[in-house]
Amino acid sequence: MKLNHLAGIILISATTIGLFTSCASDAKKATGKTKITASGDTVAVEEAVEETNTRVPVDTAKYNTLLKKLANGDTTGKWPVKNQPYPLAGAILPFKRIVVYYGNLHSKKMGALGEYAPKEMWKRLNVEIKHWEKVDPSTPVQAGLHYIAAVASGTAGKDGKYINRMANSQIDSVLAIAKMRPNTIVFLDLQVALSSIKAELPHIEKYLQLPYVHLGIDPEFSMKDGSLPGKKIGTYDAADINYVSQYLADIVKKYNLPPKVFTVHRFTKKMVTNYQNIKLRPEVQIVMHMDGWGEPELKKGTYRHFIYSEPVQFTGFKLFYKNDLKKAPNRLMTPEDLMKLKPVPIYIQYQ
């Protein structure tokens, strides 16, 4: 698909703006030499340090080989990304492919994670995982749940920020669902609306102190100009992304954690500005995640123009069970299709 054709098309994310009332609950920060678990218990940081010392350092030769594999024969020099730092021990990427279900427990319309009861949800996600394992047997799959922890809202709320922050009890429920499948990781996603990423990160910091909890941010709902969420597409600059990655890096260093995976949604050029200024750190692995919906050719064009052409580090791709079927050829892209992309996405999200 040519760029001039894409210019006339705006891919609209299928993330439905939440209309339910605010259920905000501030996450308490851990202090001193302890960290807070999902159940609210505190554990000594020294225990985490001991676990960290057992992690095997990254095999740099294997890391380089896997990056070249993901580049999938690209000859432009864009991929793999040059001069990126090697991650700390315990890094997930590129050693495993992350495959997740996305959604919110309050809504059946925001994704598979909230649409189905936990057992049925896992039954369906396991089918997708097995498909990926069959198509790319050399890359183990890391299962995950990607939960929208702050939802852009159609109503102002008490603070006038048009944001619904999920109660800690809701996040705890997602962590419990994750434990139904051993070694599952969890992403907490933030739609900041008229708030800011700096203001919202502290609300979930206690969860980010857990080694299996990672982060996603959605520029679509970052309304810096004061527009209401859903009326236009929002934006983040490289400076915002750098702030978040430094925030995560500080947590990783303070609590001796493995690297955090940090996903950034994107399906238009203006959603992320000054990509070339995004800083890479050993403590954080950044995934630029194509989350526009549409027919296969449109999705591939969006990936090519906004993810491939502006390389950061790793790439992701979202598949919409419903919205991707609206136009001919009325089919969902398959793992076989995605394995042909340059670069091959290492993070796959189903909504």
Q: How confident is the model over 271-318, as pLDDT tens digits?
A: 999 999 999 999 999 999 999 999 999 999 999 999 999 999 999 999
At residue 84, does pLDDT exceed 90? yes
Is the confidence at residue 39, as pLDDT, over 90? no
- The CATH number linked to 130 is 3.20.20
Q: Say which residues have a Cβ less than 8 Å from residue 97's Cβ, sequence separation at least 6.
A: 132, 136, 139, 140, 141, 142, 346, 347, 348
Say if strands 141-152 and 163-165 run parallel, antiparallel, or are unpaired: antiparallel
Closest CA relative to residue 207, chosen from 147, 151, 119, 281? 147
Considering the domain boundaries, does residue 177 fall inside one? yes
In a domain? residue 269: yes
Q: What domain count does the chain have? A: 1
Domain for residue 57, yes or no?
no
Q: Can you tell me the distance from the alpha carbon of 11 to that of 266, in angstroms, rounded to the nearest whole number?
A: 10
Tokens read off for 67: 């990056």
End-to-end alpha-carbon separation of the chain, Å? 24
Closest by Cα among 14, 196, 28 to 111: 14
Structure tokens at 237: 């600059």
Considering only CA atoms, give the Rg of the chain. 19
List Cβ neighbours of 336 (8 Å cut-off, separation of 6 or more): 135
pLDDT at 32 over 50: no
Residue 344 lies in a domain: yes
In a domain, 29, yes or no: no
Task: Give the residue among 9, 2, 8, 10 at the shortest CA–CA distance from 231.
Answer: 10
Query: What mean pLDDT do residues 56-70 have?
Result: 97
Q: What's the Cα-to-Cα distance from 246 to each of 90, 208, 282, 289, 312, rounded to whole Å?
A: 18, 13, 11, 19, 16
Q: Distance (Å, rounded) from C-alpha 7 to C-alpha 76?
A: 23
**4-13, 260-269, 308-317: the lowest-pLDDT one:** 4-13
| 37 vs 217, more confident | 217
Share of the chain above pLDDT 90, in %: 83
- Output the pLDDT for position 54: 75
CB 33 within 8 A of CB 44: yes
Nearest CA to 220 out of 210, 230, 211, 207 is that of 230
Domain annotation covers residue 328: yes
pLDDT above 60 (res 248): yes
Domain holding 195, by residue range, is 77-350
Q: With contact defined as beta carbons under 8 Å apart, do 24 and 200 qualify?
A: no
Mean pLDDT for all residues in the chain = 88
The answer to whether residue 97 sits within a structural domain is yes
**Residues whose CB is less than 8 angstroms from the CB of residue 244 and which lie 6 or more positions away in sequence, other chains included:** 197, 201, 215, 217, 262
On whether residue 42 sits in a domain, the answer given is no
Residue 41 has pLDDT above 80, yes or no: no
The Cα 171–Cα 184 span in angstroms is 15
- How confident is residue 18, by pLDDT bands cut at 50, 70 and 90? very low
Q: What is the pLDDT of residue 287?
A: 98
Exposure letters 68-82 (e unless 16+ CB within 10 A, then b): ebbbeeeeeeebbee
The dihedral over CA atoms of 189, 125, 39, 44, expressed in degrees to the nearest 10, equals -80
